Structure formats: C-alpha cells, structure tokens
Structure 1
Amino acid sequence: MTTRAPRRDALENRAGILDAARATLSADPYASVDVIARSAGLSRRTLYGHFDDRDALIRELISSGAQRFNAIAESVTDADARLALARLAARLWREAAHVQVAAALALDEAHVEHTAEALAPLRRSVAALARRGQDDGSFRTDLAAPTLARLIEEMARTVISRTDAASSGAANLAVRAVLSIAGLSWREADDLLAAHPDIVADASEASA
C-alpha cells in the first residue's frame, strides 16, 4: 500500500504553527495552545490536528532546533581545539540568540530527556573536542574528558538561559565562559580572541 504524501496546505499549516510558536513563546514562554493557534491564524482544532498537545509542539521545536545545532557542530573544523571550542560556542550562541526562550525551554528539566536525545550528535562533538584538547595540552586535564564535556555543556546551558541575548557583550561572555571552563585563563582567552576577532564579532552582530 502506497503512503500518500501530506497535502501542501497541511505542510504549510504545520510550518506556520511552528513559526508562530517560536515567536509567541519568545514573547511569553507560558503561552497557551489557544494563543499559539491564534498567532498562526488557525483554529485550536487545526493545531491539534498536527500536534497532540502543547508538549508535543515544544518537542517538535526542540527537534528542529537541535538539527540546526547539530549541523553547526559539524561545520566547525579548526585543528586547534581552543579555536574550535571558541568558534563552536560563538556559532551556537548566534543560533540560540534568535530563539533564546525556545532554547531555554529546550534546556528545561521537563524536556531534558528529549533534548538530550535530539542533541546527541552535538554532545558527541563536544566530548570529542574535550578529549582532543586534553590530548594536545590545550585544555585542563584535572578532570576526565566526559566530565569536562559535561561542565562545558552546563556552562553553555546557564549562559543561554540566564543571559540577555541583546545585551552588550553577551556573545563575548558566552565564549569566554566556555573557554574558562575548558581551562584557559582570561589572558589566554584574550590572546585567542584578539587573534581571531571574527569569532565574537559574528556572534555579536547576530544577537544585536
């Protein structure tokens, strides 16, 4: 039996719901399904035709965002582990700054299991980067690589959920915080970012 492809209007409605949810939740993280449906110009019944409930909608937002985050991890190819970590942090910040509230929802304990599964490729990249940095002497070695990778994740989580993305220097803070956890001193971070000003500049422009 041949499975029929979704109708074009159904796909457009689903995309419209997701776009409306991103915008609505950015303004109000506790927005109801009714508010999101109205924002999308659809009825509550139509929304429920695509998503079983509000949590299902949020999980879809997390999954789509995770795909973009995972792609960012694959795009970082610097041989220098310090530079790779700084660039990864900046690019992730640039993406998260556009959907900060949605990103915070993804990091919320209520969705932690789904988020961990969706971001598995990114987490593997961070773990591999932690090991590489320890092996070449760039990162601290007083902690096992998996523990260091977890601390880097937790620092990123805190910065994303607690920092005003539009504030001056927010991107710089995000990158420096991650480098600090990896074991770089503030002077070493200064030297690294001074030698590669494009890293923080790109992230700052995106969050402005």
Structure 2
Amino acid sequence: MTDSSAPRRTRRDAVANRAGLLTAAAQTLAADPNASVDTIARAAGLSRRALYSHFDDRDALIREMIHAGAERFNVVADTVDDDGPAPLALARLALALWEGAAHVQFAAAVALDDSHVGETAAILTPVRRRVLEIVDRGRCEGTLRGDLHVTTVARLVEEAARTVITRLDSSRPDAAGVAVRAILGVAGLGWREADAVLAEARA
C-alpha cells in the first residue's frame, strides 16, 4: 500500500458514509418523520458521532437531503423528451418527475412543504424554466390555456405538482395518472383531452 492510498481510501469512505446517511435519512424519516439522529445514524450503520462529523445537526442533514433530491429532479427533467405538442411534453415531464418523487415521497414532500419550498424552488430553477418554456410553447400553439399570463399558468402547474406530490398517496392505483391529469387540468385541458395525452405519453 502506498503512502497516498490511505488518504484516498479515507476520502472514499467519507463520501460513501455521507451518501449512506442521506439515503438512511430519506428511508427512516419516511417511516417516522420524527426519527432522531441516533435512529438515522443506526440505519446508516454509523454512530451518532459519525453523523455529526458530516452534518452540524438534524436540520442540516434534512437540508442536504432536500438539495440532493432537488438536483435529481433537475437531472430527470433534463432527460425528458419534449418533442411534439406542449401538452404531451408536459405530460412526459410530469410522469418522469412523479416517478422520481414516488420512490422518495417523504423527502419530496419535505422539500416542497411550506417551510422549505422557497429554498427548493431556487434549486429547481432548471425544472421551473423547463415548465415555463413548455407552457409558453403551448400558449403559442393554442394547446394550453391562454386566458392567463404564461408565468401564472406555469406557477399553477408548479402548485398542482407540489400538491399532488405532498398530498397524493403514491401507493394508490394509478397515482401517476392522477398526478398528470391534475397538472394537465390546470394547464387548460379537459379530462378527455388529458386522458388522451396521458395515454400517448405512456405509449
């Protein structure tokens, strides 16, 4: 073993421990929103002291969990195909984001609750810009509502998405479909139109 290999291994272990704590926090807090730092540390296979070597306190851990989750949403949004009419692009984006949120619904709900939504919104700027672009395109196409300013419609879409992520039980039958229909509805589609667009987005 070279002299430099031990520090490298230590850094790799630290990175792995931090990632493990974030994963454990999301899973543990989903089961018990009031879980203590001791419980989270044990779930990660680490000590309380190890947790505090990475995070100043429980709130710092939760903020980092929120940041990591929001960045994953940005990555997901960047991979979604937005070819075709704006309603189809919006449905595809909503489906992809719902799938990402459903696996970590507690973390997503915390990120989007009233006490964190401002911070989360700043991190989610790429996603919000994508929504605004799609809504603006839909307004020009005449496929999304044109009775309100484009930024207002985009904000309504964001609020609908926030509501379904924080309130809708991801285990209910076709929760993704319910979420997408709600988003398309506030964007101006009737329920029959929304059903047709959802079917195409899933095809």
Matched, 1:32 2:36: yes
Distance in 1, matches of 2:40 and 2:121, equals 25
- Name the aligned partner's letter for residue 57 of structure 2: D
Q: Does 1:50 align with 2:80?
A: no
Q: C-alpha separation between the residues in 1 aligned to 2:197 and 2:189?
A: 10
2:87·2:143 contact (CA, 8 Å) conserved in 1?
yes
| Partner residue in 1 for 2:152 | 147
Counterpart contact for 2:92–2:201, Cα < 8 Å:
no
Describe how 1:58-97 pairs up with structure 2 within 5 A: 58-76=62-80, 77-97=82-102
Please report how far the alpha carbon of residue 114 of structure 1 lies from its aligned counterpart in structure 2 after TM superposition: 1.7
Deviation for aligned residue 1:78:
1.8
Tell me, yes or no, if structure 1 residue 179 matches structure 2 residue 179. Answer: no
User: In structure 2, what is the equivalent of residue 9 of structure 1?
Assistant: 13
Residue 102 of structure 1, aligned match among 99, 107, 119: 107
Alpha-carbon deviation of 1:170?
A: 0.8
Superposed displacement of residue 69, structure 1: 0.8
In structure 2, how many angstroms separate the alpha carbons of the residues matched to 1:197 and 1:111? 32
Per-residue displacement from partner, 1:54-113 (whole Å, max 9, x unpaired)?
121111111111122112222222231010000011111100000001100001122122
Structure 1 residue matching 2:193: 3-state secondary structure: helix
| Residues 177, 198 of structure 2: 8 Å contact kept | no
What TM-score do you get using the length of structure 1 for normalisation? 0.89
- In the alignment, the residues of structure 2 paired with residue 197 and residue 96 of structure 1 have an alpha-carbon distance, to the nearest angstrom, of 17
Q: What do residues 104-161 of structure 1 show as CA deviations (whole Å, max 9, x unaligned)?
A: 0001122122211111111111111111111110101111111111110111111111
Residues matched between the structures, number: 195
Structure-2 residue corresponding to 1:124? 129
Deviation of 1:184 after TM superposition, in Å, equals 0.5
Tell whether the 8 Å contact from 1:62 to 1:118 is kept in structure 2 after alignment.
Answer: no
Name the aligned partner's letter for residue 28 of structure 2: T
CA contact (8 A) 2:181 2:198 kept: no
Q: CA RMSD in A?
A: 1.5
Counterparts of 2:11 and 2:174, CA distance in 1 = 45
Q: CA deviation at 1:38?
A: 1.4
Change (3 A) 1:116 1:193: closer
Compute the displacement of 1:196 (Å): 4.2
In structure 2, the CA distance between the partners of 1:196 and 1:37, relative to structure 1 (3 Å rule), is closer
Aligned AA (1:172):
G
Q: Answer with 72-81 or 57-66: which moved more.
A: 72-81
Name stretches of at least 5 consecutive residues in structure 1 with no aligned partner: 199-208
Contact 2:29 2:35 in 1 (8 A): yes
Identity of aligned residues (%): 60
**1:157 to 2:169 alignment:** no
In structure 2, how many angstroms separate the alpha carbons of the residues matched to 1:117 and 1:161?
Answer: 18
TM-score, normalised to structure 2's length?
0.91
Deviation at 1:169, TM superposition (A): 1.8
